[in-house]
Amino acid sequence: MMRWDFLTAAADALMVQFEEEIDLEINAKVHRLAYLLNHNDYDWVVEVVTSYRSLLLYYDVLECNEAQVKQALRPLVEEVLAAEDKTQSDVCQHQIDVCYDAELGIDLETVAATLGMSTDEVVRLHTDRLYHVYTLGFAPGFAYMGDVDEKLRVARHDTPRQKVVQGSVAIAGQQTALYPQTSPGGWQVIGRAVTWPRLTPGDKVQFNAISRAEFAEQCKAHGVNHD
């Protein structure tokens, strides 16, 4: 049985915390619990915030106290733990075109050299799997996805850049992400996308490699300046 526990986070907030690791099954349980809380008529639920392996619940202290919240949550957690996870056909899958060009993926060549492989191999490893959206954070719409192939894992930059261009696709450790707007960032940038869907936790993402010419065509079609 998966381990879990309650943790008091504030006078009006309670955390449900699962195993201490980043894991697809654990993350699926977190989002299933969030779904149950958000889609039932609980007057005391104020806000539900999810992460990789925990759920933070803000509740109305005028409606209930912590003991009552725990009493209500226990059967929901037990239901989630007993339920089977969603199959691939039950989740939303997205395709995102990415140009893995050295001028756009400004860390692509460095990543390849660090890992002792060609840039083509970096691209192959990054596009060769379906990624899971674990959670959102850092900036609006910034989706933390995984898991990156073990052969492709590199550390973040020691010093983050002040500016990472919108649409940049990057990797860091076992995670990958797409910067939805231009912002500071410390991940290793290996490519860039022109368009992308709005991602939500639990979604699946496949990155597809496109040429520089195809990237330019997409930029023109969508009125995007790629310089």
Q: Is the pLDDT of residue 170 over 80?
A: yes
What is the rounded average pLDDT of the residues 175-184?
97
Q: Is the pLDDT of residue 85 over 70?
A: no
Cβ atoms 188, 154 nearer than 8 A: yes
Q: What's residue 139's pLDDT? A: 86
One DSSP character per residue, the chain reads ---EEEEEEETTEEEEEE-SS--HHHHHHHHHHHHHHHTS--TTEEEEEE-SSEEEEEE-TTT--HHHHHHHHHHHHHHHHHSPPPPGGGS-EEEEEEE--TTTSTTHHHHHHHHTS-HHHHHHHHHSSEEEEEEE-SSTT-EEEE---GGG--PPPSS-EEEE-TTEEEEETTEEEE-SS-EEE-SEEEEE-S--PPP-TT-EEEEEEE-HHHHHHHHHHHT----
What is the rounded average pLDDT of the residues 101-130?
98
Where along the chain do its domains lie? 4-85, 89-222
Tens digit of pLDDT for each residue in 136-168?
988 889 999 999 999 999 999 999 999 999 999
Give CA–CA dist 208/170, Å, rounded. 14
Give CA–CA dist 66/145, Å, rounded. 33
Residue 155 region by backbone torsions, left for phi larger than 0, else alpha for psi between -120 and 50, else beta: beta
Q: What's residue 83's pLDDT? A: 85
Q: Which fold has domain 89-222?
A: Cyclophilin (2.40.100)
What is the rounded average pLDDT of the residues 183-211?
96
Q: Is the pLDDT of residue 89 over 80?
A: no
**Residues for the chain: how many in total?**
227
Q: Is the pLDDT of residue 42 over 60?
A: yes
What is the rounded average pLDDT of the residues 120-143?
95
Q: Is the pLDDT of residue 7 over 80?
A: yes
Q: Is the pLDDT of residue 44 over 50?
A: yes
Query: What is the average pLDDT score of the chain?
Result: 94
What is the rounded average pLDDT of the residues 193-221?
96
CATH of 4-85, one of 3.40.640.10, 3.30.1360.40, 3.20.20.70, 3.40.50.10320: 3.30.1360.40
Residue of 46, 71, 42, 65 lying closest to 56 (CA atoms): 46
For residue 29, which phi and psi values (nearest 5 degrees)?
A: -65, -40
Q: What's residue 90's pLDDT? A: 63
Q: What's residue 87's pLDDT? A: 46
Q: What's residue 46's pLDDT? A: 97
Which of 39-43, 102-106, 119-123 comes out lowest in average pLDDT?
39-43
